[in-house]
Amino acid sequence: MPSFDTVCEPDMVEVKNAVENAAKEIGTRFDFKGTSAAIELKDKDITLLGDAEFQLQQVEDILRGKLTKRGVDVRFLDKGAVQKIGGDKVKQVVKVRSGIATEDGKKIQKLIKDSKLKVQAAIQGDAVRVTGAKRDDLQAVMALVRKEMADLPLSFDNFRD
């Protein structure tokens, strides 16, 4: 029976490379000389540091540009609140989304069920497996999920025939 998995997984190697490139650019840019502007990656958290919120926005723009150049969807970024740390410095933690959240998985499952296509959707951990009798039905489900869940950077893996 043909099937595929709907997943939300970033390429962490490319994310790491983009963060390193952004850090290198921040270190060499003239407008950041003598400031505390910095960026660092720990596990799946990217920490942006700066002297003011405006500077944090500039650091984030650099990061977004580097991610886009490396082919990583910026919808994987989940921005946190800006926090004040010692003196006039601020920091912001940006989480890299990984896996489909339970409520999003349920939305995808309900969307597929309401489409009246002859397929079944099952939540398996942080992925949604879709199985059906015909390949054409599965491809229609892929198009439907891409269109309806545009706010999630979804990809489709393990297409089996």
Mean pLDDT of the chain, nearest integer: 90
Question: Strands 3-7 and 127-132: what pairing?
Answer: antiparallel
Mean pLDDT of 76-90: 88
The predicted model scores a pTM of 0.83
Asked if pLDDT for residue 155 goes beyond 90, the answer is no
Asked if pLDDT for residue 160 goes beyond 90, the answer is no
Rg of the Cα atoms in the chain? 20
Predicted confidence (pLDDT) per residue in 93-139, tens digit:
999 988 888 888 899 999 988 988 899 989 988 889 999 988 888 89
> Is the separation of the CB atoms in 138 and 3 below 8 Å?
yes
Predicted confidence (pLDDT) per residue in 22-31, tens digit:
999 999 999 8
Mean pLDDT of 88-93: 91
Asked if pLDDT for residue 45 goes beyond 90, the answer is yes
> Is the separation of the CB atoms in 109 and 118 below 8 Å?
no
